A and B are shown apart, each in its own frame.
Chain A
Amino acid sequence: MLPYPILTISLTLMWMLLNSFTLGHLILGALVAVFASWAMASLRPEKPKLNKWYLLPKLFFIVLYDIALSNIAVAWLIIRGRTKGGKAGFLTIPLEIKDRTALALLATILTSTPGSVWLEYDSYDGSILMHVLDLEEEEQWIATIKNRYEKLLMEIFA
């Protein structure tokens, strides 16, 4: 009946946010959401295995905080120009996560953070190629991604 319960609930919620919180829109939105999740099921995407879903809000706030910090850093860099020795560059990082949803989430996090863009993932050796605006300390970037995001993502998508 409901192949993707979270998707159905989110779609219903979205419908009611866009229209209004009334019983009529709840029924209409739920109908649309159920049909949409059936359409999604016929695409047969890989089902994400959420293990510790309660860690998702923690990830959300960590990301929000990090994006705020890198906003300030990148804005400063644009206004004041580069400090001596700072340069942009490519970065290859070996990853351990294999789950596709976790990788997609990590790609979204890294790309929507100003100052880092995810370029490609190599499924052959499980490494990613990134471009960072301020390649001051390579080890620091690698450590941030591996300890801050990858560990948490591996816990969430076990």
Chain B
Amino acid sequence: MIYPAVDLSLPVAFAVAFFLLVGAALALIGAIGFLRLPSFYERLHAPALGTSWGIGGIMLASMIYFTAASSRLVIHEILIGIFVTFTTPITFMLLARAALHRDRTARSHGVPRKYPIGPEERPREDDEPQAS
């Protein structure tokens, strides 16, 4: 059974409130940064606040609260943390690489271009002139 929040002991309540506020604050700051940073590549960095310790803080708060309130170990929130940590970088990379590809195709300034020709045309050691 789950006890109401009022019955929590003071240290537990403080710990829950602390982690919840830290996580929520990081998510909020990430959202603000997402809105305010000037370039696309810079904006990519802001949501990572919410998906690293933002989710971490809320996860810890939830684990502490439900463990204390239902008097048994509740740690399945860890799965949310693991999945968020391992899946969001894939989205970030996908978006970043799409932007990079577009900027390179458009010959934008300030975007590194490793080879004067496309990456699929770079020289290879094992390339041999084809006998015709």
Contact = CB atoms under 8 A, between A and B. Distances in A.
A142 interface: no
A29 to B, nearest CB: 13
B48 A114 contact: yes
A92 B29 contact: no
Interface residues of A, number: 30
A75 B26 contact: yes
Given A118-B93, A119-B97, A122-B114, A78 B37 contact: yes
Contact of B49 (A18, A71, A92, A117): A71
B111 interface: yes
B79 A74 contact: no
A32 interface: no
Interface in B67-97: 75-76, 78-79, 85-86, 88-89, 92-93, 96-97
B46 A74 contact: yes
B88 A112 contact: yes
23 contacts: A17-B79, A18-B76, A71-B26, A74-B45, A75-B30, A78-B32, A78-B33, A78-B36, A79-B32, A88-B39, A90-B112, A111-B48, A111-B88, A111-B93, A115-B45, A117-B93, A118-B96, A122-B114, A124-B122, A129-B100, A129-B112, A131-B44, A133-B42
Interface of A: 14, 17-18, 67-68, 71, 74-75, 78-79, 88, 90, 92, 107-108, 111-120, 122, 124, 129, 131, 133
